[in-house]
Amino acid sequence: IEIDLRGRSRKFSANDQKLMYALASQAAIFIENARLERDVRSMFLNIIVSMAGAVDAKDAYTHGHSLRVARVALIVAQQREMAREQMEPLLLSAVLHDVGKIAIPDEILKKPTRLNKAEFEIMKGHTTAGAKMLSHIPALDNVIPGILEHHEYWNGSGYPGGLKGENISLLGRIIHIGVA
């Protein structure tokens, strides 16, 4: 804070000092809050990446899959010239798109051969399981559509909702490109 006293007819009073002290205190609080918010945001993003890593670690076949899908999703978003404020939800959705696989039994998730129809139905539940796992976190409300809809197909033959065309969220459509 800088004070220019040139051209001032009176001296810097005790009240002026109190006012400046109050302003400086408020500025310090603002700066500290901004630092804390940055730290919390960083911790939040690290937890998200760790969750994706836990999913990938559960199934060696998909090791690194979530981050590869995130990279593809960001490339598609950049090509579409997607608004900057939409990029973070897209990135988080892409990184977390398979988080629901934590709820899938290992004998299905790690099965080395093709899944039978009943097993595939259980595997398809990873989209709704992931959405449900994160639904209690308000900060992720705009991320959940990408997690829930990343296996929906434009022609309506996907899951879990059989959504078609524009009824699939933009996040779901972009992440689907990286998954396919």
In this prediction the pTM is 0.77
CA angle 138-129-95, nearest 5°? Answer: 65
Q: 33-91, pLDDT tens digit by residue? A: 999 999 998 888 888 878 878 877 777 677 788 889 999 999 999 999 999 889 999 99
Instruction: Confirm whether 101 is a catalytic residue.
Output: yes
The catalytically annotated residue of 11, 58, 101, 124 is 101
Instruction: Please state the rounded mean pLDDT for residues 7-34.
Output: 88
